Structure 1
Amino acid sequence: MSTMTQTAAAHAAAAKGVARRRERWASGRTYISAAIIVIWCLLPFYWMVVTAFRDVGYTFDPTPFFTHVTWDNFATAFSSEMGNHLDRALLNSLFISGVTTVVALLFGVFAAYALARLNFRGKFLVLGVVLGASMFPGVAIVTPLFQLFTNINWTGTYQALIIPNISFVLPLTVYTLTSFFREMPWELEEAARIDGCTAGQAFRKVILPLAAPAVFTTAILAFIAAWNEYLIASILSSDATQTVTVAIASFAGSQPHQEPYTAVMAAGTVVTIPLVVLVLIFQRKIVAGLTAGAVK
């Protein structure tokens, strides 16, 4: 009997060892896969930063490290040699993207709440139109927009860039927030109504605080979409309203037929910084478990 018990215990221990090895191997594969994906995604940005700090004479140096480091490329990117004003373009992009994000959230939050919470005729048709608008190609409306804004003398103005951006960002905002509001438990709002809150007070005091992670996430997506927009800005902007995407694309070298690769990479590094800072600032709010805390 003891021999059988020892054999069973040995088999159980062996099975546990195999299970642990399989678990470690599965965990290792997960980490390796994640590392490969991260390296694949970050490698172009790393090469951009390396080239941004590299001396012009070593632009095509294949060494994947910081060699021949210089800060002159950043000074060149902001100088008048490039044929534009990157500092003003940065301010233009911040203003246009900020206004676009705020307006899209103001309308998107209420529209998403109505689509998720209220029952009315044509609800799914509206949601389908919103989804279709988010996938509509921008190149199809460039010419009509140019003709329209030319007729009303809006070409080269801020509103000519903000309004088209809102039309592209708003469907994304509505669709993203609608999915979140649908998953939010009705009991929270009903409890607020029982406690004496009106519909508006329940929305303002209960729904919006709980929706903060989704709102911040949507705001970041909307800001990035507006910040990276190039097609509309390249047609409707002027020297005074030029965005960073157009400014970098129109960089000109100090010599004819010379492409300022290092200056372009330096400008690209500068343009990427606000997006990285934005994500880092709102990182905690995005991952915060506000809904779980409210349920408790």
Structure 2
Amino acid sequence: MKTTPSINRYRWYEIIAIYAGILVFLAFLLAPFLEGFLVSLKPLSLLFSSPYRFWPENGSFAAYRTMWESVPGFGWYIFNSFFISTVATVVVLFLAVPAAYAFSRFAFRGRGPLLASFLAVNMFSGAVLLIPLYRLMRAMGVLNTYLAMIVPGVAFLIPTAVWLLRTYMLRIPRELEEAAYVDGASRFYTFRRVILPIAMPGIIVVTITTFIGAYAQQFIYALTFNSKTEYMPLPVGLFAYFGKQEVVWNELMAASFVGIAPAMFVIFLLQRYLVAGLTAGAVKQ
């Protein structure tokens, strides 16, 4: 006779309550995206019509065609955002992975204050540091280049990446490294061949969060450090739909969904690693 563990024995009203809670959560989470998609299907003249209609009358995908004509070079804006985010993510990982390993394994003077300073960096808004950053970018001679947007993004994303990876690496047993040392492996070899493969799920999580962060924070840096259209990222391209007389809301929503497609593609490719990274370490070894 098959027995069911007591932890799985839910009453019928408890099951209904659980699924109802999930549906309410998903409704609040997905409602803005659904409404934005429906706005992209509506003709501009019917956006503010009364009474409100959930499903658009005479809806079409015309805005997804005309948006390319309203903002020439919109595809280049998308490429710039993807390129800036990719380079920033690679640089952050190159610096944050060994830094997180050092903070998780070595006891050195000033480690605590240095980690605290990383958190302090995230307490400052990017707008507060615009003038010092502008003077720094001008002194470096990188204004109106990709570097003017990559360097500030990397500076603000590294602290979070170090903290996340350090927490993950603290869960990796030290006995694995000690066994490698006994076999004659160097510290660098152990880091490359033992630690990195085990920490890969956590690195994937940091990769996704860093890429999304770099993709989302480009607007203020682009307007401050760049005046050339060929280097402008996606948020500046979206801002072009705000005209002097009106906002082309349906094309703006269509452009927004097209613009986030590269980020969604990256998340889709790495989603199985994301789940593995989020659940790794939940069970004590």
| Greater Cα shift, 99-108 or 193-202 | 193-202
Asked if structure 2 preserves the Cα contact closer than 8 Å seen for 1:104 and 1:169, the reply is yes
Equivalent-residue separation in structure 2 for 1:121 and 1:184 (angstroms) = 23
Equivalent-residue separation in structure 1 for 2:212 and 2:190 (angstroms) = 31
2:151 matched to 1:170? no
Change (3 A) 1:64 1:187: farther
- 1:50 matched to which residue of 2? 38
2:104 matched to 1:133? no
Structure 1 residues 189-225: Cα deviation after superposition (integer angstroms, max 9, x where no partner): 2222223322111111111111111111101100111
Equivalent-residue separation in structure 1 for 2:184 and 2:17 (angstroms) = 53
2:285 matched to 1:283? no
- 1:195 matched to which residue of 2? 183
Counting aligned pairs with the same residue, the percent is 29
- 1:231 matched to which residue of 2? 220
Q: 2:238 aligns with which of 245, 248, 265?
A: 248
Letter in 1 for 2:98: F
- Structure 2 portions without partners, runs of 5+: 1-5
Structure 1 residues 86-123: Cα deviation after superposition (integer angstroms, max 9, x where no partner): 11110100110000000000000000000011111111
Equivalent-residue separation in structure 2 for 1:97 and 1:63 (angstroms) = 38
Q: 2:17 aligns with which of 29, 39, 60?
A: 29
Equivalent-residue separation in structure 2 for 1:271 and 1:169 (angstroms) = 22
| TM-score, reference length from structure 1 | 0.84
- 1:267 matched to which residue of 2? 255
| TM-score, reference length from structure 2 | 0.87
Aligned residues: 273
Q: 1:152: Cα distance to partner?
A: 4.8
Q: How does 1:53-64 map to 2 (within 5 A)?
A: 53-60=41-48, 62-64=52-54
2:58 matched to 1:76? no
Decide which structure has greater helix share: 1
Question: Secondary structure in 1 aligned to 2:232?
Answer: coil
Structure 1 residues 222-262: Cα deviation after superposition (integer angstroms, max 9, x where no partner): 01111011222222223111111111022245xx5021000
Change (3 A) 1:250 1:206: same
Equivalent-residue separation in structure 2 for 1:184 and 1:45 (angstroms) = 39
- 1:10 matched to which residue of 2? none
Question: Secondary structure in 2 aligned to 1:172?
Answer: helix
Equivalent-residue separation in structure 2 for 1:218 and 1:77 (angstroms) = 33
Question: Secondary structure in 2 aligned to 1:174?
Answer: helix
Select the structure of larger CA radius of gyration: 1
Asked if structure 2 preserves the Cα contact closer than 8 Å seen for 1:210 and 1:291, the reply is no
- 1:90 matched to which residue of 2? 78
- Structure 1 portions without partners, runs of 5+: 1-16
| Greater Cα shift, 94-103 or 272-281 | 272-281
Q: 1:141: Cα distance to partner?
A: 0.8
Change (3 A) 1:216 1:26: same
Q: 1:66: Cα distance to partner?
A: 5.0
